[in-house]
Structure 1
Amino acid sequence: MDPFSHIPIRVLLVDSRQIVLWGLEKLINSESPRMETVGKASNGTDARRLARESQPNIVLLDLELGGERGVDLIPDLLKMGNFHIIVFTEIHDPTTIDVAIFNGARGVVYKEEPTPTILKAIQKVHDGELWLDRRTTGRVFINFLRTGQKLPVDPVAGKITALTRKERVIVNAFANEAGASNKKIAHTLGISEQTLRNHLTSIFSKLEITNRFDLFMFAKLHHHQFSVTGTRTESPASRL
């Protein structure tokens, strides 16, 4: 059995109202083992601390945190780890929503939407997609073009983009053969163990990891972003 097939999506909840946090926690945990709540915060200070300590995959963030503005919290949170932020709000003001996206949020869910929508948004954003309606998407991209700003950089996507095509093939091999030895993976890829070790040194550096287990985890959690071009009949060795 693949040891990484049931890794849950780790969700941090940030909302100023305890009743909302309680309801969201029940909802997320009801999806176990697909999802789990790893923390709850009702203010910016606790949100920063929990984001750093729990290293979630998704932060579900309210934009109204008492006297704090959730949109201003987004850049600080994103410095705490490699995760995505989904805005969870009652605010429909386009300017506020646009600022949240400019600051790095990957999705917007309104509190009046049905609970299946919340779960679907978490899954889709975790899979690397944006969760924005067409009107918001169009408005945001037009504003980016007008102001000359760059789109927010996804830190995980940035690391993956740094990999060469050969390195992506190797990462895929580790994801598909969890627990296999370097010798076995090198044989599968049709390369020498020394060549594989050389590639792994570069991969570890680019992904900011230190060992094979971390590589398995990274590859499994972000497998959707490790596409390798080529025909289906193409062998791993031919891609190297």
Structure 2
Amino acid sequence: MSPDSSVRVFAITSHQLVLTGLNTLLTDHPGNFLWLGGYPPSVSLFQELERHHPHIVILDDPSLNTLPTLPAHLAEHHIELILLTQSDELKGLEVQIQQGVLGIVHTSEPLGSILGALHAVSQQHLWVPARMRERLLTKAFSFMTQKSNKNPSGIHGLSIKEKELIRLIVHHPEAKALALGEWLGIQESTLRNRLSRIYQKLHLHGRAALVMFAQQYHLD
């Protein structure tokens, strides 16, 4: 499989054991994934993200604590986020989903769970630990519904072209930005800017939240 067709995976961690484990896992089981390596949380991290252009970032809990603006930055650049966590505290994990984390893997789970999360997230599907899935998803989706109910006015600010893009994403949630741009007859950079404006108007982070919102308000 050519690099251009692969899902590019990058890790952010200061723990060498985590990095070694991810390197072994994705080297031995590459599948559709291209392992880009990892980088510790630091001020130069954002330059590394620009250089590598990942599709998915794997991040551990401590790194997230030192980079509070990272989820918003990744959402703005249409990069999906998987969190490696040692926490069993539901409220904190709910907050992470609300801020744009699309995959959560507990460190006590088998290593193969990371591959499951990568496959799900690469298709814009939410992935959380099985033992807390029902409670976590119910609460997170309830929050999204309550939030969107309080901010439906953003719909009225959408342009015809923005609504067209939303409908296209709802019907093709797995399509890459390049393909979406070709279907609409616009440059990929134009599409990304348009999508960023949609997120800002609707107070959303990521495609999964956008698809849910669009279905709820019949924008599909």
Separation in structure 2 between the aligned mates of residue 145 and residue 134 of structure 1, nearest angstrom: 16
SS of 1:39's equivalent in the other structure is strand
Q: Which residue of 2 aligns with 1:97?
A: 93
1:139 correspondence with 2:139: yes
Partner SS, residue 60 of structure 1: strand
The more displaced of 93-102 and 138-147 is 138-147
State yes or no: 1:161 paired with 2:166. Answer: yes
SS in 1 for 2:30: coil
Q: Kindly indicate whether residue 60 of structure 2 is the aligned counterpart of residue 78 of structure 1.
A: no
Cα distance in 2 for residues equivalent to 1:59 and 1:105 = 10
Structure 1 pair 99–71 and aligned structure 2 pair: CA distance change class (3 A)? farther
Per the alignment, residue 46 of structure 2 pairs with 48
In the alignment, what sits opposite 2:215? none
TM-score by length of 1: 0.58
2:60 partner letter: D
Corresponding residue SS for 2:5: coil
CA deviations 1:96-137 (Å, max 9, x no partner) are 211211111111111111111110110111012111322111
The Cα shift of 1:17 comes to 0.6
Q: Which residue of 1 aligns with 2:32?
A: 34
Matches of 2:15 and 2:182, distance apart in 1:
46
SS of the residue 2:100 aligns to: coil
Residue 59 (structure 2) pairs with residue 61 (structure 1): yes
| Residues 202-228 of structure 1 deviation map (CA, whole Å, 9 limit, x = unaligned) | 42247737xxxxxxxxxxxxxxxxxxx
* CA separation of 1:201 and 1:83: change in aligned 2, threshold 3 A: closer
What is the aligned counterpart of 1:13 among 11, 14, 17? Answer: 11
Output the amino acid matched with 2:54.
Answer: P
Q: Answer whether contact 2:3 2:34 (CA < 8 A) is retained.
A: no
Please report the RMSD computed on the Cα atoms of aligned residues, expressed in angstroms: 3.6
- Pairs aligned (count): 170
Kept after mapping to 2: 8 A contact 1:90/1:111: yes
Q: Is the 8 A contact 1:16 1:41 kept in 2?
A: yes
Q: What is the rounded CA distance, in whole Å, between the counterparts of 2:145 and 2:169 in structure 1? A: 29
Distance 1:145 1:201 in 2: 30
Which structure 1 segments of 5+ residues have no match? 151-157, 176-198, 210-240
Note if contact 2:102-2:126 (Cα within 8 Å) is conserved in structure 1. yes
Aligned-partner SS, 1:21: helix
- Residue pair 2:74, 2:80 contacting (<8 A) in 1 also: no
Structure showing greater radius of gyration is 1
Deviation at 1:6, TM superposition (A): 8.2
Letter in 2 for 1:34: N
Amino-acid identity (%) = 22
Matched, 1:113 2:100: no
Q: With structure 2 as the length reference, what TM-score do the two structures score?
A: 0.63
Spell out, residue by residue over 1:135-162, the C-alpha distance to the aligned partner (whole angstroms, 9 max, x if none).
1110112223344567xxxxxxx98535
Amino acid at match of 1:161: I
Contact 2:120/2:126, CA 8 A, preserved across alignment? yes
- Structure 2, unpaired ranges of 5+: 152-162, 192-220
- Residue pair 1:162, 1:206 contacting (<8 A) in 2 also: no
